[in-house]
Structure 1
């Protein structure tokens, strides 16, 4: 019996489709219901479905009046505010292609992305780093906010296979890769509603992430809105220690966060009184058994873990209807076709280790990497998209995660390429060789460590400042160590796994 899970194909996406129209469809039947509450300790900024849809469609009109044409790419350099999802959906509504990016990125990092994208414009909050002259029109937040009151745009309906948005992910090449997604990607997320969330229109889902994180955009906003539920997002500056207060005060029924956020909450609260909470959701990095158990003890609710990636979002998960067994991630969601394959892309026997792969027929799979056809093709073997993560499948379809087969690092839920960190270090005049890896400094806490060779020790403060100018904060090493020589294999290739043993 081969390690393939196939419960049958999901319902096909409508032939005429627009992602923003789908997400905001409940503005017609639930106009006065609260779609979004931005939460602070002192209160909440509430947006009804009617108000949200009007702002989105007005923004769509404004972007077209600004001279942008359907198909144009717009880079988003906006902060952790409601302006982010409004601009994102406003662009998609009229057939523009938004590119959400983390506000933590430096101007130097963004400059490389602009060069790779060739955008028609940049949506920019003055508080967010951006190249001084990106060479294209810049729309600031004042202009975006003024667009909200414009007449509503018509939704640009069309082929669900056409490009809708682009996200960046770190890759083994060391340069962030532009991942292209079709409008159908949001339709594919319907499989998560039962297979991970157990989501319905009566839910109030609080996501702990920032507006401009793709995990928040999907799980915290797009999915709740598509079923008519209420999204709850903490305002900028709200810390993990305050989340239990907001969860209780605003009657949250589902809580979503990266595992590190759960850990921080539990560090501040041994017991939590959350009578309306049904369960938690975790993604972004591996959830440890200790956090899972501690949360259950503190709240009486379970956390359901999910596995996904920028190229295909979440497709393996535990859920209230199908809980994962101890030591397992969960099972592929109904409608998915997933396998464990060998190096040749052939499914292995059930129970045997291999690489997790998802069918190229999956409606949530990316269109490809922008301008990188060869790299896109290299990730596909036969009918399978190869994730690069190792695991095995049991006969009931549940999958265990064995780890990554590359050197990708995980920092607070963000996947980070060591090559990108090493490139920043190698630009320093006092560094000859560089290596980076993530290390576990205590249970459930990982950080990036940097190693280098050079003629002399470099003050740590100098290295921290050097990296801060070139790397987003979540990519910056927290530990630096000079070595006499880097660990290499007989062919001279850096062995990053050996670096972990030096700490």
Structure 2
């Protein structure tokens, strides 16, 4: 038998006409007074609450405000927003108007966001004060105070059209070291139905708390848009909440489903968890969940964690779920409706149990439209009808997929994919470094960091000096935390850098970093 998962019941295509924001808020008329969003805090201050009616009115008011600024459907709007409700309002408001929002991390430096803005050519930027902007600004910039004023404007009608038209753009790193702009269609939200049973086990009665910030796409999808699409209540911890605060909130706020990156679970488990009588299960994505973290969580909370695997180009498509938990050591199962395969070098599915390249069929409704302005890079990701993920996996007779390693050297820092080439280029700009190489380094059984190995031009540099240099040019999550001077960088016989050998240079002293 071959490693190909063919859907017995493919997901029906999204209806035409279609608007992604309208789909997300489809329950607003019926559930008008129900709480759609609550920003929760472990302290004594009151929580900010949005009902479904208030949320939809604000989103459609934002759409009106954006159109009143002269924007036309199809124009792109760059979001430079912090960890506030402004982020989903700006995102969904733009989509409601037929515009194409572009979320971006608030941690990006001016040089980073300038390069990205050059790639996507925004017609408008919505920005929080203090967050780095492209220089020079390529278009008009409005602040959050102006965005707030839009919420009370008369509601705009949802812009209707083909579900295949562009809806939003997100950035991802590639092996080239250049950020890629991933263009998604309106149908991407329709495809997320496959996650409802295939990962979440979510219902209208759930109270879903996501530990991430508003301005992270993992939070935007799993913590906000998916709960709203089914009529559930989304809970987001207030900015500055600590791991202990999260534990308290899980207990006090009657949370039924909790979503976080693996590192958050690890931090929460540094202290004992309180009783969690309402929690049914946790969700994990963004990076591989360490077995030791999973075991400790299940022991203390008496609830399972269901893990999902995905990528910016298709969100999650393999996962465990309450209805079908993952076998030990496996990533999970292909979600119902997915068409997946493990391919060999010839592009054909390999036998069961054999490692190969994990691939998604090009007709998957959640698959991206393209890498914006990069037709060659887009074409290179396809082999016939298959989109190549760049990850190696195997498939068992039960249909479970097991992760076999990365086909490239992309690093994973707290759930963010980071190109080593980008970080190496920045580190090599330091006058005290002649050459640098970066890898993801495991420093504990349940934690990894970005490590920088460098050849000094003279004497080794202090870690503080190198950290300051990195933080001046890179977002915090891209910055190395481990620095190691070396006499030379290991290379293969064809002069290719051996990152695997670099990881072996980490000693026990380095592992005291976390």
What is the TM-score when the length of structure 2 is the normalising length? 0.96
Structure 2 contact 75–122 (Cα < 8 Å) conserved? yes
Task: Please give the alpha-carbon distance, in whole angstroms, between the structure 1 residues aligned to 2:428 and 2:118.
Answer: 21
2:467 aligns with 464
Asked if 1:128 corresponds to 2:131, the answer is yes
Q: 2:436 aligns with which of 431, 434, 437?
A: 434
Structure 1 contact 37–47 (Cα < 8 Å) conserved? yes
Task: Please give the alpha-carbon distance, in whole angstroms, between the structure 1 residues aligned to 2:373 and 2:317.
Answer: 26
Structure 1 contact 409–415 (Cα < 8 Å) conserved? yes
Structure 2 contact 114–135 (Cα < 8 Å) conserved? no
Q: 2:306 aligns with which of 304, 307, 310?
A: 304
Structure 2 contact 177–419 (Cα < 8 Å) conserved? yes
1:406 aligns with 408
Task: Please give the alpha-carbon distance, in whole angstroms, between the structure 2 residues aligned to 1:16 and 1:135.
Answer: 32
4+ aligned runs moved over 4 Å, structure 1: none
Asked if 1:3 corresponds to 2:3, the answer is yes
Superposed displacement of residue 133, structure 1: 3.2
Q: Secondary structure at the match of 2:27?
A: helix
Are the structure 2 counterparts of residues 253 and 350 from structure 1 closer, same or farther at C-alpha, using a change threshold of 3 Å?
same
Moved more, 64-73 or 304-313: 64-73
Q: 2:418 aligns with which of 413, 416, 419?
A: 416
Superposed displacement of residue 272, structure 1: 2.9
Superposed displacement of residue 254, structure 1: 0.1
2:281 aligns with 279
2:509 aligns with none
Structure 1 contact 344–381 (Cα < 8 Å) conserved? no
Structure 2 contact 248–274 (Cα < 8 Å) conserved? no
Moved more, 445-454 or 85-94: 445-454
1:265-300: CA deviation from partner (whole Å, max 9, x where unpaired): 11122x431111010000001011111111111011
Unaligned runs of 5+ in 1: none
Aligned length: 502
Asked if 1:141 corresponds to 2:144, the answer is yes
1:107 aligns with 110
Moved more, 250-259 or 39-48: 39-48
2:450 aligns with 448
Asked if 1:48 corresponds to 2:51, the answer is yes
1:236-289: CA deviation from partner (whole Å, max 9, x where unpaired): 1111111111112111100000011001111122x4311110100000010111
What is the TM-score when the length of structure 1 is the normalising length? 0.98
Q: 2:185 aligns with which of 159, 182, 188?
A: 182
Task: Please give the alpha-carbon distance, in whole angstroms, between the structure 2 residues aligned to 1:419 and 1:497.
Answer: 15
Structure 2 contact 117–134 (Cα < 8 Å) conserved? no
Superposed displacement of residue 132, structure 1: 4.9
Unaligned runs of 5+ in 2: 507-514
Task: Please give the alpha-carbon distance, in whole angstroms, between the structure 1 residues aligned to 2:164 and 2:271.
Answer: 46
Moved more, 393-402 or 143-152: 393-402
